[in-house]
Amino acid sequence: MDAAILLGSFIVLILLRVPVAYSLGVSALIGAWWIDIPLHAVMIQIAGGVNKFSLLAIPFFVLAGAIMAEGGMARRLVAFAGVLIGFVRGGLSLVNITASTFFGAISGSSLADTASVGSVLIPEMEKKGYPREFATAVTVSGSVQALLTPPSHNSVIYSLAAGGTVSIAALFVAGIGPGLLMSVTLATLCLWFAKKRNYPKGEVIPLRQALKICVEALWGLMTMFIILGGILSGVFTATESAAVAVVWAFFVTMFIYRDYKWRELPKMLHRTVRTLSIVMILIAFAASFGYIMTLMQIPSKITTAFLTFSDNRYVILMCVNFMLLVLGTLMDMAPLILILTPILLPVVTSFGVDPVHFGMIMLVNLGIGLITPPVGAVLFVGAAIGKVTIENTVKALLPFYIALFAVLMAVTYIPAISLWLPSVVL
């Protein structure tokens, strides 16, 4: 009955179109009242939910991503990817995937990836003879990598939702394997389409121009090495690396590239703060919701229910995948991580699944949800930039969904894809 009151009130509030953050907070208050917990205990949890040092990584990484997206770094990374592989058949689609890999490893945001890379490459791909729907589908699917490759602020949120017991650095390093696997899988699919549909070859860029492009892109690519190198060498923590990323992104944008106007900085900071206020309110209320769930012993009850259903780890993981895929199409990623991690993590760890491995499973699942209707935020952004209807974009995405599902199965059932690199470097 306790779970029905808490979860039922949350679902009712969502159906009444109350924002997710406030739905979490109000349902936590209702749950506290039901089990006779003082309401000020909920308020303490709300304040404590955002009073964590590790949370500083989120505003810094979001700000660094905004500076890079608007400061010309994305355009230079696209050009650099063109130098590497733009000359093969279907080269622009491969450039799209590769640019998403580079930019995702710098911004950590699928939305920023889609907006930045898509605004440059979708019109260019159409001009070269690619269908606009295909160009949009490539851009949208490729941006899912940004959720996995460091610095992913969703990994920070997962670590927080796991009670801080999962290392952010381990999650960052673990995301490299699944991210590269996704990149290779999507690139292979694009090559197959290029051969089947006879998409055009790109032009070989002259050596002098190619060297200039590489030098300009190098400043942006160094962001990856500064962040990962600093973390792995122990020079700074994963949280401190976010602040270093902001300083470096600001220096490169304003003093090296000099494409961004100083008078635009206050507007960008305002947009960043607005985005962060939504995320931080969500984290605060999710902390109180998780606290009430723990008092009601909901995670342990769900674990028991799964154990009675099956004692086979592979069956349980498939059920969890199905649940995450469905919920990922109905809600945004951050609230789902905050709500589901305290519930599902005890379930999967009881079957011997490593928490870092499960983090990668969750990110891939919910990343697919971001490009799937009816509530796929990245899908909507990509369709808007590509000026394509949602229906046509989804139709073009169908083979990419299959490829992403194959990656999900590999990440789920081959733990070494996620865990090998952390075991070597950490």
Whether residue 74 is contained in a domain is answered as yes
Total number of residues shown for the chain: 426
Distance CA 210, CA 165 (A): 46
* Res 182 pLDDT > 90: yes
DSSP 376: -
Q: Count how many Cα atoms sit within 13 Å of the Cα of residue 380 in the half-sphere of its side chain.
A: 9
Could you give the 3-state DSSP secondary structure of residue 311? Answer: coil
Residue 146 and residue 113 in contact, taking contact as beta carbons nearer than 8 Å: yes
The enclosing H or E element of 312 equals none
Cβ neighbours of residue 131 closer than 8 Å, sequence gap 6 or more:
396
Instruction: Using a pLDDT cut of 90, give the percent of the chain over it.
Output: 20
Burial class (CB in 10 A: 0-12, 13-18, 19+), 131: middle
Residue 54 and residue 168 in contact, taking contact as beta carbons nearer than 8 Å: yes
Number of domains in the chain: 1
Token couple for 350:
């009881």
Whether residue 42 is contained in a domain is answered as no
pTM equals 0.85
* b/e code 74-94 from CB counts within 10 Å (16+ = b): bbbbbbbbbbbbbeeebbbbb
pLDDT value, residue 390 = 86
Could you give the 3-state DSSP secondary structure of residue 201? Answer: strand
234-250 confidence digits (pLDDT tens): 788 777 888 888 888 88
45-56 confidence digits (pLDDT tens): 888 877 877 777
* Res 111 pLDDT > 90: no
Q: Residue 338 is part of which domain span?
A: 53-425
* Res 415 pLDDT > 90: yes
Whether residue 195 is contained in a domain is answered as yes
DSSP 252: I
Whether residue 374 is contained in a domain is answered as yes
Q: What sign for the dihedral angle of Cα 354, 357, 363, 368?
A: negative
Task: Tell me the average pLDDT across 132-145.
Answer: 92
Over its C-alpha atoms, the chain yields an Rg (Å, rounded) of 22
Token couple for 165:
């017991």
Distance CA 44, CA 157 (A): 20
* Res 233 pLDDT > 80: no
* Res 180 pLDDT > 90: yes
pLDDT, greater one: 330 or 181: 181
pLDDT tier at 410 (50, 70, 90 boundaries)? very high
274-316 confidence digits (pLDDT tens): 877 877 888 888 888 888 887 887 777 777 777 777 778 898 8
pLDDT value, residue 149 = 84
Whether residue 27 is contained in a domain is answered as no
Whether residue 26 is contained in a domain is answered as no
pLDDT, greater one: 204 or 365: 365
Whether residue 271 is contained in a domain is answered as yes
* Res 359 pLDDT > 90: yes
Top mean pLDDT of 100-104, 179-183, 215-219 is at 179-183
Whether residue 43 is contained in a domain is answered as no
* Res 85 pLDDT > 80: no
259-284 confidence digits (pLDDT tens): 788 888 888 888 888 877 877 888 88
- Ramachandran category for residue 281: left, alpha or beta (phi over 0 → left; psi -120 to 50 → alpha): alpha
